[in-house]
């Protein structure tokens, strides 16, 4: 199984663990992830303005390269996934964006949304299957009560992201179960951590993460996992009482490839 792989800037700097454990695990699962040669930062936020084109170009470049290789594009960071998936939807459905982007990029072949971008978790669920994944676990995480923290970007807007039920998702819980641990659902697992507010409005971000932590504590979550470096940072604030790690770290541990 071979895929094009888009890492994004944070995975090469502050979130190296997210990537390292993902790559080790992919190798153990027989999945080849080939990093794109000239990927550019996705911009971290999807440009919500209808008239913004320039900030969509880096996503289109990544998508077009995957399309040209006839490979699916894999992402790991929730924000990169959000941006690239929504830009791809624009390239499929908005003629205005499609025309302007193609006029600008002058690719060998116009790009019209042909590539498919999937998150690493979707690869585990849809390409490998959680039942097959469970068979490959050598070090089951028995007796560990783990809470999934989904956040916003993988789930919403639901029609475009098409990742899971936006109000009651289960993909990360199924993942946790496949690794032999016990998933714990708690109400605030899909609430926003504050995201970029932590740059310019730290108090509000703090209040938002406190609410999430309270909800997890109340439901006796012992550890948390996420797919987003910014969620992890925000949840590790001064009141964060529960340790939070990347989902790929759990995966590597269960597959016996966490060095």
What are the residues binding other proteins (CB under 8 A)? 8-10, 13-15, 41, 43-45, 47-51, 55, 77, 79, 152, 155-158, 166-167, 191-192, 194-201, 203-204, 207-208, 211, 228-230, 232-233, 236
Which backbone phi and psi does 222 adopt, to 5 degrees? -100, -30
CB of 72 to other proteins, least distance (A): 23
Closer Cβ to other proteins, 29 or 212, answer by number? 212
Question: Which residues does 30 contact at the CB level (< 8 Å), separation at least 6?
Answer: 1
Strand partners, 145: 182
Structure tokens given for 255: 């597959």
* Residue 35 vs 203, nearer CB to other proteins: 203
Q: With the CA atoms of 185, 191, 196 and 199 taken in that order, what torsion angle do they form, in degrees rounded to the nearest 10?
A: -80
Closest alpha carbon to 76 in 114, 25, 135, 129: 25
Structure tokens at 100: 């302007």
Q: How far is the CB of 1 from other proteins (least distance, A)?
A: 28
Burial of 88 (0-12, 13-18, 19+ CB in 10 A): buried
- Nearer to other proteins among residue 22 and residue 44 (C-beta): 44
Q: Which is nearer to other proteins, 129 or 157 (CB)?
A: 157
Q: How many residues does the chain have?
A: 259
Q: Closer to other proteins by CB, 1 or 45: give it.
A: 45
Distance CA 20, CA 23 (A): 5
CB of 105 to other proteins, least distance (A): 20
Element (H, E) at 6: strand 2-6
Residues whose CB is less than 8 angstroms from the CB of residue 198 and which lie 6 or more positions away in sequence, other chains included = 205, 230, 233, 234
User: In whole angstroms, how close is the CB of 135 to other proteins at the nearest point?
Assistant: 34
| Nearer of residues 131 and 167 to other proteins, judged by Cβ | 167
Least distance between other proteins and beta carbon 170 (Å):
17
Closest CB 218 distance from other proteins, rounded Å: 17
């Amino acid at each position: 199984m071979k895929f094009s792989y888009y890492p994004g800037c944070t995975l090469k700097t502050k979130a190296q663990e997210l990537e390292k454990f993902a790559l080790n695990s992919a190798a153990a699962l027989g999945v080849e992830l080939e990093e794109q040669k000239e990927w550019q930062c996705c911009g971290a936020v999807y440009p919500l303005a209808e008239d913004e084109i320039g900030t969509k170009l880096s996503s289109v470049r990544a998508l077009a390269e995957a399309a040209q290789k006839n490979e699916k594009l894999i992402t790991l960071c929730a924000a990169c996934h959000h941006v690239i998936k929504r830009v791809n939807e624009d390239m499929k459905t908005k003629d205005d964006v499609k025309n302007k982007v193609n006029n600008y990029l002058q690719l060998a072949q116009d790009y019209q949304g042909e590539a498919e971008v999937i998150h690493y978790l979707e690869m585990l669920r849809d390409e490998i299957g959680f039942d097959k994944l469970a068979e490959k676990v050598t070090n089951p995480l028995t007796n560990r009560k783990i809470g999934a923290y989904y956040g916003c970007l993988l789930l919403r807007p639901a029609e475009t992201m098409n990742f899971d039920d936006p109000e009651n998702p289960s993909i990360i819980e199924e993942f946790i179960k496949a690794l032999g641990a016990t998933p714990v659902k708690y109400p605030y697992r899909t609430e926003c951590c504050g995201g970029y507010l932590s740059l310019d409005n730290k108090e509000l971000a703090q209040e938002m993460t406190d609410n999430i932590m309270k909800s997890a504590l109340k439901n006796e979550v012992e550890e948390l996992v996420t797919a987003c470096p910014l969620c992890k940072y925000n949840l590790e604030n001064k009141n964060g009482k529960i340790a939070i790690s990347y989902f790929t770290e759990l995966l590597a541990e269960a597959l016996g490839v966490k060095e």
